[in-house]
Amino acid sequence: MEIKKLATAGTLESSDAFITVEPNENGIELNLESVVINQFGEEIEALVYSVLDELDVKNVNISINDRGAVECVLRARIETAVMRGKE
């Protein structure tokens, strides 16, 4: 799936995450900020790559500002941003 334009999803409220995706030609570049980065940073990174793989996204600049979102919320917000970015 190709990201064709800048798109965002989510909010900065507690338990949510704010995601930005932009077109990129050099693979996946991730910029992660999280209120739980010390405890779960690696798990969140792994989850982001896994969701992008499931959505068949090979090239994207993705920024995530995580406010303590659980897995199903992060998955939903990444998917929403990708869907918005491909249109």
Partner 1 sequence: MRRSILFMPGNNPGMLLNADILGADGIILDLEDAVSPKEKDAARILVRNAIRYLGYKKSEVIVRINSLDTEFWTKDLDEIIPYKPDFIMVPKISTAADILVADEYITKLEEKLGFEKNTVKLMPLVETALGVENAYAIASATERVRAMLLGGEDLTADLRCKRTKEGNEIFYSRSRIVVACRAAGIDCYDTPFTDVNDAEGLIKDAEFAKSLGFTGKSSISPRHVADINAVFSPTQADIDYAIEVMAIIKEAKEKGLGVVALRGKMIDAPIVNRAVQVLEAAKAMGVKIDE
Q: In whole angstroms, how close is the CB of 25 to partner 1 at the nearest point?
A: 26
- 75 lies in the site for partner 1, by CB under 8 A: yes
The CB-of-79 to partner 1 minimum distance in angstroms stands at: 5
Contact 34, 7 (CB under 8 A): no
Q: Can residue 76 be called a binding residue for partner 1 (CB under 8 A)?
A: yes
Name the nearest CA neighbour of 29 among 58, 7, 71, 56: 58
Q: Which residue ranges make up the site for partner 1 (CB under 8 A)? A: 9-10, 13-16, 69-73, 75-77, 79-80, 83-84
